[in-house]
Amino acid sequence: MIAKEVKTAVIWEDEHILIANKPSGIAVIPERFDTEKKDFKSVLEKQLGIGLFTVHRIDRDTSGIVCFAKTAEAHKAMNDLFENRKVEKKYFAFISGRLEGKVGEMDFPIAHHPAKNGKMIIHPKGKEAFTSFEVIDQFKHAAFVQVQIKTGRTHQIRVHFAAAGHPLLVDPLYGKGEGFMLSSIKKKYNQNDDERPVLGRLSLHAGALGFEHPFTGEDVAFEAALPKDMEATLRLFRKYDL
């Protein structure tokens, strides 16, 4: 990740909180099994010359909004908001297949996979997890959806849609990982061995975050525009897959 991406990643900040737009392909904090790789928090701290506290995380390959605290007091206050489900979180995703209806809900408990480290499963003894979604565009082979989660379980959106039979369009862990190719939807595409995926990473973006500011009492809301690769994917689906 180049320095410019990080410098332009900050969406908003005050003396308590910093909101940033994380690119896909970098973890929020150092990964347990690969501490040599750069992480978003550390790069931000170095670029901005400040210390940050991690409030919440999104997956390495998910792009979008991440919230950091700038003081221990703010860290505790924001953690309380997240733990008490007083934060509105919206995601945008490309989902495989055709979804029934315009809106839907999923309420499946999630637990760690007993044998595969880093993977989650639906299990009756797992932690409660609630996901709701609205279909923005339904195409022949996929759907573009807005998703809201009331809980923040690991891989929640990915696990819920996979369990419903509609994994994310690109998801190496719970679905297909080869990426979205234009040739998969465009008829008479002049395919060759050099075709590259239009979307070669997890098809999930954390697009919006809203909450009552714990120190000012005002309602604040932040948005992160859809990344270029997801915008390009959406344009192609709207052109070739209706």
- Known catalytic residues? 59
Amino acid (one-letter) located at 120: M
Spatial distance between the Cα atoms of 137 and 84, rounded to a whole number of angstroms: 32
- To the nearest 10°, the Cα dihedral for 59, 61, 65, 69? 50
- Two tokens at 191? 């395919």
Distance CA 242, CA 239 (A): 7
* CA dihedral of residues 156, 159, 161, 166 (deg, nearest 10): 160
Residue 92, Cβ density class (10 Å: 0-12 exposed, 13-18 middle, ≥19 buried): buried
Type and span of the H or E element at 206: strand 204-212
